[in-house]
Amino acid sequence: MTPSRVAFAAILAKDLRSELRTLQSLPAMALFAVTAFIIFRFGLDRTSLSGSLASGVLWATLLFAAVLGINRLFVAEREEGGFDAIRLAPIDRSVLFGAKAAALIVYLVALELVAVPIFAIFFLDSATALGPLVAVLLLADLGLAVVGTLISSMAVNSRARDLLVPLVLLPLVVPLMIAASGATEPLLALGGPGYHRFGTWLMVLGLYDLIFALVGWAVFDFLLED
C-alpha cells in the first residue's frame, strides 16, 4: 500500500496545479461573491451593516459562492478517468476524500481572502471584527468542505449534477450556517465586536465538522464502488 500521506499530497498537488493552470473554479466563486455584495449594497440601500443582517449577507454570499466550487470538485475525476486511476492504485480510497476536502478548503480560504475584505469595505465601519472572524471562517470552511466533498462525489455521476448539489447540500448545511451566523452576529454588532455565546457557536461548528468528517471518511469508500 502507498502511504496515505504520499497519496494525499499527490492528489492535493494535482488538484491545485490544475486549478492554477485552468482557473475553472476560483474566479467564478470570487466573481459571484463580489457581484452579490454589490447587489446587496444597492438592493438594501445601506452603506453600513451590522449584527444579524451583516452576518446573513456574508454567509449567504459565501455559501452560494462555495456551491460553484463544490459543483466542479470531481468533474476532472469523472471526465478524465481519475476515479478509475485512483481505484486501480494501492491506496486507501478515503485519501481521495481527505485530499478533495483539503483542496476545497484551499479554494474557500482563497475566496474569503478576496471576498471578506471587500465585504468589510462595502459594509463595515471598522475592521476590528475580522481577527476573531477568522476562527469562524475556518471552522465553517471545514464543515462546508467535508459535506461538499461528500455530496459532490455522489452528484458527479448524475447528469443533473448542477441541480443535485444545491438540492442535497443546502439542507445539510443549515445547522452549519446557523452556527456560523450565530458566531458572526456578535462580532459584527453595532459599536464593536462582542462575544456573547461566541464560544458556544464555535463548539457547535467544531462538532458539526467532526461528525461529518467521520461520516465522510467512513462512507466514501462505498461511494466509489460501481
Partner 1 sequence: MPDLQEKAAPAEAERPAIAVSGLRRDYGDRAALDGVGFELAAGATMVVLGPNGAGKTTLLRILATLLRPSGGEVLVLGCSLPKEAWKLRGKIGYLGHEPLLYRDLSGRENLRFHARLHGIAAADAEARIEGLLVAAGMDRRGDDRVADLSAGMRQRLAICRCVLHEPELLLLDEPDSNLDAEGREAARELIGPGSGHTRVVVTHDPERFLPEADGVLRLGIGEVAAVS
Which residues, numbered 18-77, are part of the site for partner 1 (CB under 8 A)?
Answer: 18, 21-22, 76
Span of 78-86, 101-109, 153-161, 195-203 interacting with partner 1 by CB under 8 A: 78-86
- The owner of cell 494535482 is 14
* Nearest residue to 119 (alpha-carbon basis) of 61, 168, 79: 61
Span of 29-37, 64-72, 80-88, 147-155 interacting with partner 1 by CB under 8 A: 80-88
Composition of the chain by helix, strand, coil, percent to 5: 80, 0, 20
Q: How far is the CB of 10 from partner 1 (least distance, A)?
A: 4
Query: Taking CB under 8 A as the rule, does residue 222 contact partner 1?
Result: no
Query: Taking CB under 8 A as the rule, does residue 81 contact partner 1?
Result: yes
Alpha carbons 207 and 104: distance in angstroms, whole number: 19
Alpha carbons 122 and 196: distance in angstroms, whole number: 25
Which residues, numbered 6-25, are part of the site for partner 1 (CB under 8 A)?
Answer: 6-7, 9-11, 14, 17-18, 21-22
Element (H, E) at 43: helix 26-43
* Length of the chain measured in residues: 226
By C-beta, is 84 or 214 nearer to partner 1? 84
- The owner of cell 492504485 is 89
Query: Taking CB under 8 A as the rule, does residue 82 contact partner 1?
Result: yes
Alpha carbons 57 and 55: distance in angstroms, whole number: 6
Q: Which amino acid is at 131?
A: G
Query: Taking CB under 8 A as the rule, does residue 167 contact partner 1?
Result: no
Phi and psi at residue 96, in whole multiples of 5°? -60, -40
By C-beta, is 85 or 121 nearer to partner 1? 85
Query: Taking CB under 8 A as the rule, does residue 159 contact partner 1?
Result: no
Element (H, E) at 135: helix 130-155
Alpha carbons 121 and 138: distance in angstroms, whole number: 21
- Interface with partner 1 (CB under 8 A), residue from 85, 127, 163, 210: 85
Q: How far is the CB of 168 from partner 1 (least distance, A)?
A: 24
- Interface with partner 1 (CB under 8 A), residue from 84, 128, 195, 214: 84
Alpha carbons 81 and 145: distance in angstroms, whole number: 23
Which residues, numbered 89-118, are part of the site for partner 1 (CB under 8 A)?
Answer: 89-91
Q: How far is the CB of 86 from partner 1 (least distance, A)?
A: 7
Q: Which amino acid is at 210?
A: L
Residues of this chain that bind partner 1 (CB under 8 A): 1-3, 6-7, 9-11, 14, 17-18, 21-22, 76, 80-82, 84-91, 225-226
